[in-house]
Chains A and B, each alone.
Chain A
């Protein structure tokens, strides 16, 4: 019985490169525990995003199992996968990827509505989330009126909005300067601890690792513990 919110078992993924298949992920096993903030580092092209996509039900592995809240999602079809993403996983991408025509509060409202869970409690949660990411004063702003750091804060709040057990972030600070990066990752770490989430962040900024509990390195298709 798997108790961790997220577990990968013997996952392998290959992509076609020209004529031949290359194993990007080779027999990877990994678990993310509640309340733990894990970092994955590694050179560009080493397969970090691929790993995170598989962990986040965006991509299916060639071999191996992925467990989200102890459910194996390997056999899930598109619609069920979408549901897993909607309810169990919160994403923070490299670009904030906000919906350009929605105001800050509407960005969060949207995911709650898609889940069919827009009630008083959700409204309260929205208020609290925006408060804790420091955007209380920006609720009625459109994305184009926000700075890069502010957008990423909205993305963080959005990731937490449906109260998922898993938070995944793929290079969330790649577009930010050092001070902003520190701020954003510190905020993520705080939220992860406070809300007891299992979080995985891919980054190549080693100065951010001080916020994380565990560090893995992606190298030649393997995930190796330690820096």
Chain B
């Protein structure tokens, strides 16, 4: 069965290469678009996904958007100590001037307690400390803009100079890198007379604490992380349109492949008749056909994976493209199933072939 399938491919090299090539193009497109979707998604919400937060407390009319919610938390700080398990989450958009970059760099600044659960830790350089110095740890994507440890970044409006002491990973939000600064240093700037936050976050669900915080702030709801992620501007629409593209690609693949395999099968019906006449069983013929499709698809998928790796390497640095092997594996399985189903459709024709036609009856 196996050798029959392979020998046919070996003999009709051109025909099968063309089919494999089309499969390859289709798979590559699916992989690249999904890599792009993954990259864009990462750019937009990676930090949220990584955050070890179970619930966010936001204002009711904020529609789950962090930037639409805001609290003065002086009272909360007095009433409920942070040791109970909560942290404030404050995000600020800044445009920073770096010596290494000609354009201003958009960043999201998050003041943070380096000892608390919100702090992600560095992968390079030093961690933040509770000092008053304007030291930051920045997402490593800033390296693409030439930023290095020890560099200073300048904010013109308030005349602030930040020093980069370390790099984090996966800390991007709304298509910009996050820079973390110690809360002590941030409030030392006296930018606001109050303690402020966009949201209150807790690491683990805790009904009692949640009720207490709600009691104090008295304007908001506890929402899950997923709701916050879905509400990040652009995220849903970006992902939806890319997923639509992938879905359409796969639907197109179903039809193109089914049509291809159908034509291939029709061309070979006579031959199937002969093979049946000399004793081949349906299962043998259908099995050989499926095996053939399996081999072609596997080869195409492997080549497409290689091509996607190649593409991810030649794409410009700042391009949001994520090569994710597990994602590619899952799309590969879908494509494999789709092409097997496509060939299974035409297999009904194989089963129906009358072996007697090998006799070449005279009409």
Residues of A within 8 A of B (CB): 44-45, 49-50, 52-53, 56, 58-59, 78-79, 82-83, 85-87, 89, 91, 93-95, 97, 99-102, 106, 110-111, 113-115, 142, 158, 162, 170
Tell me the bound Cα distance from A148 to B279 in angstroms: 23
In the complex, which residues of chain B have a beta carbon less than 8 angstroms from the beta carbon of A113? 3
Tell me the bound Cα distance from A3 to B233 in angstroms: 86
Q: Decide if B7 is an interface residue (CB 8 Å cutoff).
A: yes
> Does the CB pair B279–A87 fall under 8 Å?
yes
Q: Decide if B277 is an interface residue (CB 8 Å cutoff).
A: yes
In the complex, which residues of chain B have a beta carbon less than 8 angstroms from the beta carbon of A93? 274, 277, 358-360
Residues of B within 8 A of A (CB): 3-4, 7-8, 10-12, 271, 274-282, 284, 355-356, 358-362
> Does the CB pair A158–B362 fall under 8 Å?
no
Q: How many A-B residue pairs have CB under 8 A?
A: 79
Interface pairs (21), CB distance under 8 Å: A45-B362, A49-B359, A58-B277, A58-B355, A79-B282, A83-B279, A83-B281, A85-B278, A86-B278, A93-B274, A93-B277, A94-B360, A95-B360, A97-B277, A97-B358, A100-B11, A101-B10, A101-B12, A102-B4, A111-B279, A170-B360
> Does the CB pair B359–A170 fall under 8 Å?
yes
Q: Shortest Cβ distance from A27 into chain B, in angstroms?
A: 21
A83 to B, closest residue via Cβ: B279
Tell me the bound Cα distance from A50 to B361 in angstroms: 8
In the complex, which residues of chain B have a beta carbon less than 8 angstroms from the beta carbon of A79? 281-282
In the complex, which residues of chain A have a beta carbon less than 8 angstroms from the beta carbon of B355? 58, 82, 85
Q: Shortest Cβ distance from A182 into chain B, in angstroms?
A: 22
Q: Shortest Cβ distance from A78 into chain B, in angstroms?
A: 7
> Does the CB pair B280–A142 fall under 8 Å?
no
> Does the CB pair B356–A59 fall under 8 Å?
yes
> Does the CB pair A101–B278 fall under 8 Å?
no
Q: A82-B276, A85-B278, A111-B279 are in contact. Are A99 and B271 (CB under 8 A)?
A: yes
Q: When the two chains form the complex, which single residue of B275, B277, B279, B356 contacts A99, counting CB atoms closer than 8 Å?
A: B275
